[in-house]
Amino acid sequence: MAKKEELRELLKAELKDDFIGEELAGERRLFVDVHNRALVKTAEILMKQGARYQVGVGYESRKGGRGLALVHTFAFDNDALIVIVRTFAPEDNPEFDSLTPIIPGAGWSERECIDLLGFRFKNHPGPKRLVLSDDWPEGIYPLRHDVPHDLMPPATRDVVFRLEQPPPGTSIVPFGPFHSSLHEPAHFSVYVDGENIKGCEYRGFMTHRGIEKLAQTELTYNDVPFVAERICGICGSVHSVNYAQAVEAAAGIKISRRAEFIRVVMLELERLHSHLLWLGVAGHLIGFDTVFMQAWRIRERIMWLAERLTGNRKTYGMVIVGGVRRDINKEKAEDIKQVLKEVEREMLSLEKAIINDKTIHKRTRGVGYLSKEDALKWNLIGPVARARGIAIDARKDHPYAAYDELEFEVPVVDYGDVWGTLVVRVKEVYEAINIIRQCLNKMPADGPLAIDLDAPIPSGRQALSVVEAPRGEAVHYVLTGEENKPERWRVRAPTYANLQAVPEMLMNNKLADFPIIVGSIDPCISCTDRVVVIEIGLQKIKVMRKEELETISRKMRFEG
């Protein structure tokens, strides 16, 4: 691919001796190793070429004496190319240059590395603790190989969380850690002046489960898809497919075309149920429970269908490395077509009711507005970006599975508000139905569901996979390891990127609009909570220490 050659030559010419080498990969990925000192320069070159920053990954090399590694990935959405830049530092001095000053979106990834691997970052604006709770002892880095996965340091009780003082003239309305408009633990301390939101302090990452560490220590390649699916209760297949694709790419496995089509069917069914779920929740959040009930009634058909196809309403357990576990035969295909017909019919009447409802317009137009420029600045993805005029969709930009053979539209609108995200999601429901129908017609009649591997997966290979989840692009990075398990597996869920822009969306809106604005990004806290807390002051975003929710719960337990 031309862009790949061009970038490689450009990097070689600019970096000279600092360009260490390139790992062979397919035409859509460029894996380069660069010298530690050239990291910022490399990032600057790539960003100038129009890259979109995705995620940073740190890991400890198990062998070969290469020390600690830091990986940054950059997507070129127009050229179907992702550049993965890796750099090393010696174990006794794990210091890297921070990318955060030039790419704000890198801040979370870098702080994750500080917490979990003990990296140090030069010029990081706020290198504070992020993932780990305040009472986690200094000097124990959970993702290092010598730390067991089940290490539980004793909790200390004297760590007390202090909320920031609200700005003068405002008072605090606490949304969370548990609130009926948040479906998972998260805490927004909202500063209000009357009914106007004047700022907000966000604290999250209360449900960090250490899934990545578990996969790297206790599980084998084919156990992980089932754990990956449990990262999220709504878009589970996204993570299992994503992981499997990454491992397959690293191992150089080509799965059967039929299996790829079956994966697409499951992914799109999941998108259908997720969008209908969102639509219902959005209705509920603006006090329109009839939309809630009707959307979920339509969704229920898809849940039953999924149960007939896979045995489960959710968490399908369909994906393994090398293919899928269950077939979609003629009978099941007919079943799917029948259900889709019903869903499409009911969806049309629901859509008509929503689009024509003036009060829904009143509650969503201009609410949570963010301009296209701001959306680009925050690297927004998924429907949240597509509602702001940014045409980005991993299914089109970085085709995977069978999407290259399917024809579909990517709905993009430029309302820039909650209404826009609603319109995009409603349109995507029809596109998903369209995609599944195409899959059922175009699917090859035969082909193995899963292929067996002839040889062990070689260690030390990198792979990066992206899948368009209902909420946006999910990224999985895999480094293959010894003993039939990945050495490093990193998940970046879409909410990780979108959540950062929420405080800016909230600014100067009404308190009554808080639930629907937060809801408009369809936040998935369990996906995101592998780390991270940001804290947002008045009109400005400052990176802040992750204060532990755990501490709060402890305080309540012992004092309350």
Q: Which one, 284 or 490, has the nearer CB to other proteins?
A: 284
Q: Give, for 363, the enclosing helix (H) or strand (E).
A: helix 358-364
- Is there binding between residue 552 and other proteins (CB under 8 A)? no
Shortest reach from residue 293's CB to other proteins, in Å: 4
Shortest reach from residue 560's CB to other proteins, in Å: 13
Q: Which stretch binds other proteins (CB under 8 A): 158-166, 444-452, 511-519, 532-540?
A: 511-519
C-alpha neighbours within 13 Å on the C-beta side of residue 485: 15
Q: Give the amino acid at 330.
A: K
What is the x/- site pattern for other proteins, positions 9-48, by CB under 8 A? Answer: ----------------------------------------
Shortest reach from residue 357's CB to other proteins, in Å: 8
**Distance, CA of 190 to CA of 213 (rounded, Å):** 34
Q: Cβ(176)–Cβ(240) under 8 Å? A: no
Shortest reach from residue 172's CB to other proteins, in Å: 7
Shortest reach from residue 549's CB to other proteins, in Å: 19
158-164 long-range contacts, CB within 8 A, separation 24+: 159/133, 159/134, 159/135, 159/548, 159/551, 160/551, 160/555, 161/134, 161/547, 161/548, 161/549, 161/551, 161/552, 161/555, 162/547, 163/189, 163/201, 164/189, 164/201, 164/535, 164/537
Residues between 79 and 98 that touch other proteins (CB under 8 A): none
List C-alpha distances in Å: 53 to 9, 45, 49, 103, 127. Answer: 21, 12, 12, 8, 19
**Distance, CA of 50 to CA of 72 (rounded, Å):** 15
The burial of 374, by beta-carbon neighbours within 10 Å (0-12 exposed, 13-18 middle, 19 or more buried), is given as: middle
Q: Which one, 463 or 516, has the nearer CB to other proteins?
A: 516
- Is there binding between residue 360 and other proteins (CB under 8 A)? yes
Shortest reach from residue 525's CB to other proteins, in Å: 17
**Distance, CA of 147 to CA of 188 (rounded, Å):** 33
Shortest reach from residue 208's CB to other proteins, in Å: 27
Q: Tokens 């357990």 — which residue?
A: 317
Shortest reach from residue 533's CB to other proteins, in Å: 22
What is the x/- site pattern for other proteins, positions 263-292, by CB under 8 A? Answer: --------------------xxxxxxxxxx
Distance from CA of residue 22 to its chain's centroid? 27
Q: Which one, 172 or 453, has the nearer CB to other proteins?
A: 172
Q: Is 303 helix (H, G, I), strand (E, B) or coil?
A: helix
Question: Number of residues in contact with other proteins, rule: CB under 8 A?
Answer: 34
Neighbours of 281 (CB within 10 A): 19
- Is there binding between residue 538 and other proteins (CB under 8 A)? no
- Is there binding between residue 453 and other proteins (CB under 8 A)? no
What is the x/- site pattern for other proteins, positions 115-154, by CB under 8 A? Answer: ----------------------------------------
Q: Which one, 294 or 310, has the nearer CB to other proteins?
A: 294
Q: Which one, 78 or 196, has the nearer CB to other proteins?
A: 196
Q: Please select the residue that binds other proteins; options are 42, 240, 294, 379, rule is CB under 8 A.
A: 294
Q: Please select the residue that binds other proteins; options are 357, 404, 409, 482, rule is CB under 8 A.
A: 357
Shortest reach from residue 503's CB to other proteins, in Å: 18
Return the closest-CA partner of residue 458 out of 437, 438, 478, 430.
Answer: 478
- Is there binding between residue 363 and other proteins (CB under 8 A)? yes
- Is there binding between residue 297 and other proteins (CB under 8 A)? yes
- Is there binding between residue 356 and other proteins (CB under 8 A)? no
- Is there binding between residue 332 and other proteins (CB under 8 A)? no
- DSSP assignment of 496-525 equals HHHGGGHHHHHTT-BGGGHHHHHHHT---H
The burial of 206, by beta-carbon neighbours within 10 Å (0-12 exposed, 13-18 middle, 19 or more buried), is given as: buried
Shortest reach from residue 337's CB to other proteins, in Å: 24
Residues between 170 and 189 that touch other proteins (CB under 8 A): 171-174, 179-181
Shortest reach from residue 515's CB to other proteins, in Å: 5
Q: Cβ(516)–Cβ(502) under 8 Å? A: no
**Distance, CA of 458 to CA of 114 (rounded, Å):** 29
Q: Cβ(126)–Cβ(516) under 8 Å? A: no
Residues in the chain, how many? 560
- Is there binding between residue 207 and other proteins (CB under 8 A)? no
Q: Please select the residue that binds other proteins; options are 163, 293, 355, 538, rule is CB under 8 A.
A: 293
Q: Give, for 469, the enclosing helix (H) or strand (E).
A: strand 462-469
Shortest reach from residue 420's CB to other proteins, in Å: 17
Shortest reach from residue 199's CB to other proteins, in Å: 15
- Is there binding between residue 515 and other proteins (CB under 8 A)? yes
- Is there binding between residue 165 and other proteins (CB under 8 A)? no
Neighbours of 303 (CB within 10 A): 16
Q: Tokens 């801040």 — which residue?
A: 107
Q: Which one, 228 or 347, has the nearer CB to other proteins?
A: 347
- Is there binding between residue 510 and other proteins (CB under 8 A)? yes
- Is there binding between residue 195 and other proteins (CB under 8 A)? yes
Neighbours of 492 (CB within 10 A): 24
Positions touching other proteins (CB under 8 A) are 171-174, 179-181, 192, 194-195, 283-294, 297, 357, 359-360, 362-363, 510-515
